[in-house]
Structure 1
């Protein structure tokens, strides 16, 4: 397709003189260090943008495929209804029901073909034409809906239409994620598609050495996937800037707000030009997320896939055995013996506390079970080691909060049975006390 050329990013030139894309970077170089107990982002000043001085940029690249144009309105309506997709907003393009209708570059289509996807997911089918049109959008969909590709593939097209990076430029696409695990999973997808398009990406998150991340940023990257805290650190230290950022993604916005990242998000967005394209993704649509959308997005279109409230997956059979505390361990052991007697079965057990996670892991390993455990108090190296070993381990203990950080579609291993032990009276989306839940695919 015209304009979707495979550009050689090795042509990026040296850079000198004043910044081309607005004022100074986020934070001052050589300034006084942030106090140990300072508020994150307190040294970042809100930018006052002069739109007349900012270079213009393209963000509408959508050309409706003839197959989409010829599709009758009734067929479109039936598709949206069958996929439980609702759209709110003006001038929303028709959905794309086949991959070729997106007119992605050949190198992107080659990767899609290698991965064996049959057709776009509902959020991709409706999200791609919106994102390629340069519109701001909110996508409400559950984990596993395919939202990562829904925003990354249009990001690649967006980047390929922008001027080459020069020395001192920050990223063109910024993806903010709530946790390092989610950021790493997005980075894996970005790297896979970026190799084909010769785009560079970096994952910026806490709990890992800053040096390699800084070096990647200073070499120049088109895509930056970051957790808010670490990105704030780098912006304040002048290690990167957001002058070139014209494509902003807020992934799992509801979780970022739940984790208290709203002040950091606002500080970061203040560093980005206001005529950017912004895409917000969330599993729920509470008033806090709605307010964030009103503040950051302009004339946005909202896509809902399924219900706005969290609900159980209807493709999973859930069996609840209510019991007393004293009975639970024996019931759990009998259930595990039944599950693990079948070849290739894998089990995940969620626990209420990190201590309980460690206790059960030690007990099971002592009794000869192939078990591993993971929770937030383990180091990043330990957590990566556990995740990398999931394909060979058949019993996996997890404190609930850390598993929330994982994109279920990115943890790829066969799991025929999922045994969940949860005790959380404060979260209505979780199971009540004293229950053992056996969840298996129907």
Structure 2
């Protein structure tokens, strides 16, 4: 009786054939054709089957390539023990990136003269009494810590000495400074290192971007071969793209050039921008390290460093890459860190990266909290009725013109399925998730922002970092796993002081510990902002308080 056994080997990334095999037995005949499957090759033989483990596969990761890029070969590394967690988040996925970077001796480097303080306090701000300052802090729900003197809040755009065109662009975005801008602008413009703790949608991008443009414009012009002057590190390509769009809007017609570098797209255009020279660079850590190792650019001219969504970057396991990037930046730089929370990992990062005792600005609480401008609706519905209930709801909402709806699903397949059904119902819908090519994702987001498509179905790839100011509704078609994800999802609406609505379809028949925990957490979060959770949700959580 003939039996089959597996011959161990591995797939060469990007090729359909198997490039290497280790012979399992000298009795195995050489076959011209073999049945090739995902994890090996099956041969006719008279020998016993060989059971494969992860240790039977060669581990050949190329330096500078992420686990995601390694694909098949890298997927077996978990069998030999997982890499250490960094920052309390995910494993370091790109541990080899940056290992070939040269350690710089800044005493031997020829550095341009640095100017950091550009803040000229307006007379109305300077004349504020301590009682008026305290009242302003209370009105802004702001707290300031760190080395004195502490900044006085800027309550009006007229209190800033800005160029007319820049001031006009700012006024077109906000009616008045948001709390984080009121406190962040005088701090950053004075050249102080700072940590900003504020929730999503608080206007923090402009809080660090406007001082960055003032800072960069005052520095000596770039010479051939120079790297950028300002650097913004972001956790995702979507956020990097969004920040770059804001930079281009505020630098139109100026001498300040910018680019964004991130994975998922070809390097050539990004590399060309870096070689031509840019004053401000927005980057994800992995792609930036690739360019640094290749010598495409350098960071010796960086004097204004911003870490946006630092807590998210640590959650994603980017701390080693961030540290490698910062090691290439002159130590007398100005450093700004922005986060929604203040965990110990962020505190440690602030101590390591900020040269002086930084100003710490907190708007609201250091804990993640809900935006009270978001009206939360919880629909407790059975799994079999959920699709019909959702379709009925979305049709009533989509009947209104210029209404943007962002829908979150748990899986990529679920996002595509829901998108197809909406399109079948003649509704303008698109889906975005990690399996989409970057070009397609960019087009989908552009269509949603410009109103060509008014319904966007997304996985959690869009739960943080996307700043689409006129999203009227956020829908949790599938309930997120954690309260943090819930807060970040619904935080895509009611941005920049606007109002919004979040609708969550909560399963009525899911009595798992995770769902019970989420029911209780959402109920408490609603009560914290003065909203009453529905009776059905309280019943699921076992609480009627």
| TM-score bin (small chain) | 0.7 to 0.9
Q: Deviations over 1:171-228 (max 9, x none)?
A: 0101101111111111111112222432111111111221111111111111011111
Give the counterpart of 2:507 among 415, 427, 434.
434
State the distance in 2 between where 1:386 and 1:135 align: 39
For the pair 1:319 / 2:377, whether they are aligned, the reply is: yes
Report the CA distance between 1:344 and its aligned residue: 4.1
Alignment-derived partner of residue 16 in structure 1:
none
The counterpart of 1:150, out of the listed 191, 195, 207, is: 207
Structure 1: where are the runs of 5+ without partners? Answer: 1-32
Question: RMSD of aligned C-alpha atoms?
Answer: 2.4
Q: Which residue of structure 2 aligns with residue 180 of structure 1?
A: 237
Q: Which residue of 2 aligns with 1:122?
A: 179
> 2:336 pairs with 261, 279, 284, which one?
279
Match of 1:72 among 116, 129, 141: 129
Aligned residue for 1:10? none
Say which of 82, 103, 107 aligns to 2:165.
Answer: 107
Q: 1:132 to 1:262 in 2, by over 3 A?
A: same
Counterpart Cα distance in 2 of 1:271 and 1:116: 35
- The answer on 1:300 being equivalent to 2:358 is yes
Matched, 1:402 2:458: no
Post-superposition Cα deviations, 1:364-402, rounded to whole Å, max 9, x if no partner, equal 222333221111110111111211221122332111x21
Contact 2:405 2:454 in 1 (8 A): yes
CA contact under 8 A between 1:229 and 1:264: conserved in structure 2? yes
Report how far residue 248 of structure 1 moved. Answer: 0.4
User: 1:323: Cα distance to partner?
Assistant: 2.6
Is residue 267 from structure 1 mapped to residue 327 from structure 2 by the alignment? no
For 1:52 and 1:235, the matched residues in 2 are separated by 17
Q: Distance in 1 between matches of 2:304 and 2:173?
A: 28
Query: Aligned in 2, Cα 1:327/1:126: closer, same or farther, shift over 3 Å?
Result: same
Note if contact 1:168-1:218 (Cα within 8 Å) is conserved in structure 2: yes
Q: Provide the C-alpha distance between the structure 2 equivalents of 1:116 and 1:168, rounded to a whole number of angstroms.
A: 35
CA separation of 1:116 and 1:349: change in aligned 2, threshold 3 A: closer
Aligned pair partner of 2:452 in 392, 397, 405: 392
Q: Tell me the number of residue pairs that the alignment of Structure 1 and Structure 2 aligns.
A: 402
Within 5 Å, give how 1:12-411 maps onto structure 2: 34=63, 39-50=96-107, 54-90=111-147, 91-113=149-171, 115=172, 117-297=174-354, 298-390=356-448, 391-399=451-459, 401-408=460-467, 411=468
- Alpha-carbon deviation of 1:275? 1.0
Distance in 2 separating the partners of 1:327 and 1:155: 51
Per the TM alignment, residue 261 of structure 1 is displaced from its structure 2 partner at its CA by 0.8
Distance in 2, matches of 1:418 and 1:158, equals 37
Query: How big is each residue's C-alpha offset from its partner over 1:379-427, in whole Å with a ceiling of 9 and x where there is no partner?
Result: 111111211221122332111x21124433xx244x4333322333345
Q: Conserved in 1, the CA contact under 8 Å of 2:463 and 2:485?
A: no
Could you tell me how far apart the structure 2 residues matched to 1:141 and 1:35 are?
34
Classify 1:52/1:240 alpha carbon distance in 2 versus 1 (closer, same or farther; 3 Å).
closer
Deviation at 1:267, TM superposition (A): 0.2
| Matched position secondary structure for 1:151 | helix
Q: Residue deviations 1:58-116, cap 9 Å, x none?
A: 11122211111112222221121111111111221211111121212333223224x16
1:212-254 deviations in Å (ceiling 9; x for gaps) = 1111111111101111111000000000000111110001101
- Verify the 8 A CA contact 1:373 1:397 in the aligned structure 2: yes
Quote the residue 1:420 is aligned against: 476
Q: CA deviation at 1:341?
A: 3.9
With CA pairs under 8 Å and 6+ residues apart, which has the higher RCO, 1 or 2?
Answer: 1
Deviates more, 1:55-64 or 1:372-381: 55-64
Q: Secondary structure at the match of 2:406?
A: strand
Q: CA deviation at 1:262?
A: 0.7
Alpha-carbon distance in 2 for matches of 1:196, 1:77: 40
Shift of 1:46: 2.8
Given that 2:380 and 2:505 are in contact with CA atoms closer than 8 Å, whether structure 1 keeps it comes out as no
Q: Secondary structure at the match of 1:255?
A: helix
Rate the CA distance shift 1:249–1:375 in 2: closer, same or farther, 3 A.
same
Deviation at 1:342, TM superposition (A): 4.0
Distance 2:330 2:401 in 1: 55
Q: Distance in 2 between matches of 1:397 and 1:80?
A: 39
Contact kept? 1:228, 1:265, Cα under 8 Å: yes
Structure 1 residues 357, 208: CA separation in 2 closer, same or farther (over 3 Å shift)?
same
* TM-score normalised over the length of structure 2: 0.70
